[in-house]
Structure 1
């Protein structure tokens, strides 16, 4: 991989194909590599000893402390809520960090990790700093990696899982088809592929700009027949709050959930606190709309929040 120094120049068209203005990096950084795949424009960026992997202009995963916090919240709530944890499915796990977290559980027997882009998966498997960060998770003997669309994979199998983790990009005008991984039809399929007592966690964007995004996923999951609990993770010194939904086949009381393993950032107390949503999220609860295969509910929310499209 070639390496060169890039001093940030706002609006530089040559780099804007890889790093969007919304995701601009403060200060100087090194672009380790720019890659064009059939699916994505990928930039691997090094800054202050960390790697950030951009896809379609936005950070897909990194080797930062933020990534630890995000992935712990993504994985351990569903693992705590599930009746069993023997079989885990991760859709959108090419960086291997969520897989690393799932491997903390001794009762996990098999993890299937999917990513549509083979190059992203190769980065998670072979790029040394990423492999060090994910502790070689994608090369672990309990892990099977698959390069395939998550919906197609589930439509063509009759296997079932105890825990399913959905860490997917937000749909946009450039990738409207991603909405099919958030639709009531897809969530109904997930319900068929979940064992009794199973649990699903779903990343739901940020609360400061898109609370309606969370509540639309919430409404869609409920329409598919799930019991749903929204939760969030916010560091006091961080500007962004990460939103998630926990979806289960039977009702769960957050106060009954406990951390089973030790992690950097989560305790049982912190886990339970994440279900206590702040006022600015709760007041938007009734704004959610149901995403289907045939509408653009989530794309419209993202467009309005980030691009001022009405």
Structure 2
């Protein structure tokens, strides 16, 4: 009887231990979906996790939300096959393409999803796009995952597009090429990836300046300015410190309530009225362009609060930590 009792207790203990390990792994530990999708970033409607995997730089989740695919990186939404993604891509690409003297050679840093590349391919004068992404798996998704390829219209496989797997700064520092338009569309630095600050620094902007053709421009993504206005103004102040002429612009998404900020930077003086669209796009009409180039009062009120980001400080990371607790 004692042997049977101890056998039963032993089996129960093993079961409880395995259950605890399972729940720890899948709810709190490394196997938890929360390590791939932050609680605050979960879709509000029914969703299905199609795939999760680790790459050399990040944790990726492919999530089906209705008819859309959302791509998560380290718990945060990176991009998706969504209408607001089309708006975002049109703004970050067509404003600098409209402002540049020429639009023949384009460099896109952070082009793994292929959506911004798709927009740049609208220009008949275009000769070459270099799309740089540090993550080979992310670039491969943009090239081969059918639902993303359908959304980006096969842009990363286009004959005018060359894809490069490398850190964006390292690629620019090694390159002897110059470009008409350079688009930097990368996430903000976080404690998980503080090194991203190197792609927003004064030193890197000097490198980009050396790689612009006469009349060339930069377009820099500045995150969600309704949450972090100082983030955008710090990027602009850094660009000005580098000697660029700058024009801030933004796009408020009626669907998500997010106001995305950007900075246009040029080596030559440039006014908003000088910017005229060269192609027709579904979202960014001439009327919408004027709205994009007019900064709302709540942002202009914070204009003088930016600081210069260098390789030696953590200006942008500090802003992100303070405003989002990331």
TM-score bin, normalised by smaller chain? over 0.9
Q: For the residues of structure 1 that align with 2:279 and 2:293, how far apart are their CA atoms?
A: 19
Task: Note if 1:33 corresponds to 2:51.
Answer: yes
Shift of 1:149: 0.3
The 8 Å contact of residues 257 and 268 in structure 1, kept in 2 or not, is answered as no
> SS where residue 173 of structure 1 aligns?
coil
CA deviation string 1:155-179 (max 9, x = no partner): 1111100000100011011111110
* Structure 2 equivalent of residue 6 of structure 1: none
CA deviation string 1:2-32 (max 9, x = no partner): xxxxxxxxx9431111011231211221111
Task: Note if 1:133 corresponds to 2:151.
Answer: yes
> SS where residue 93 of structure 2 aligns?
helix
* Structure 2 equivalent of residue 99 of structure 1: 117
Q: Which moved more, 1:229-238 or 1:83-92?
A: 229-238
* Structure 1 equivalent of residue 315 of structure 2: 297
* Structure 2 equivalent of residue 231 of structure 1: 249
Shift of 1:237: 4.6
CA deviation string 1:204-237 (max 9, x = no partner): 0112210000000000000111101111101345
The 8 Å contact of residues 184 and 219 in structure 2, kept in 1 or not, is answered as yes
Task: Note if 1:85 corresponds to 2:133.
Answer: no
Please show how residues 183-194 of structure 1 align to structure 2 within 5 Å: 183-194=201-212
* Structure 2 equivalent of residue 64 of structure 1: 82
Q: Which has the higher helix share?
A: 2
Q: Which moved more, 1:13-22 or 1:64-73?
A: 13-22
Q: For the residues of structure 1 that align with 2:290 and 2:198, how far apart are their CA atoms?
A: 31
Q: For the residues of structure 2 that align with 1:85 and 1:189, how far apart are their CA atoms?
A: 20
CA deviation string 1:141-164 (max 9, x = no partner): 000000000110011111100000
* Structure 1 equivalent of residue 221 of structure 2: 203
Q: For the residues of structure 2 that align with 1:172 and 1:253, how far apart are their CA atoms?
A: 33
* Structure 1 equivalent of residue 290 of structure 2: 272
Q: For the residues of structure 2 that align with 1:117 and 1:183, how far apart are their CA atoms?
A: 21
Q: Which has the larger radius of gyration?
A: 2
Q: For the residues of structure 1 that align with 2:220 and 2:48, how far apart are their CA atoms?
A: 32
The 8 Å contact of residues 231 and 244 in structure 1, kept in 2 or not, is answered as yes
**Counterpart selection for 1:43 from 47, 61, 85:** 61
TM-score where L is the length of structure 2: 0.89
Q: For the residues of structure 1 that align with 2:229 and 2:39, how far apart are their CA atoms?
A: 22
* Structure 1 equivalent of residue 300 of structure 2: 282
Q: For the residues of structure 1 that align with 2:265 and 2:251, how far apart are their CA atoms?
A: 17
* Structure 2 equivalent of residue 150 of structure 1: 168
Shift of 1:276: 1.0
* Structure 1 equivalent of residue 19 of structure 2: none
Q: For the residues of structure 2 that align with 1:228 and 1:256, how far apart are their CA atoms?
A: 13
Q: Which moved more, 1:76-85 or 1:236-245?
A: 236-245
Q: For the residues of structure 1 that align with 2:200 and 2:40, how far apart are their CA atoms?
A: 23
CA root-mean-square deviation: 1.2
Shift of 1:132: 0.4
CA deviation string 1:121-143 (max 9, x = no partner): 00000000100000000000000
Shift of 1:242: 0.5
Q: Runs (4+) of structure 1 moved beyond 4 Å?
A: none
CA deviation string 1:92-127 (max 9, x = no partner): 010000000000000000000000000000000000
- In structure 2, runs of 5+ residues without a counterpart are 1-25
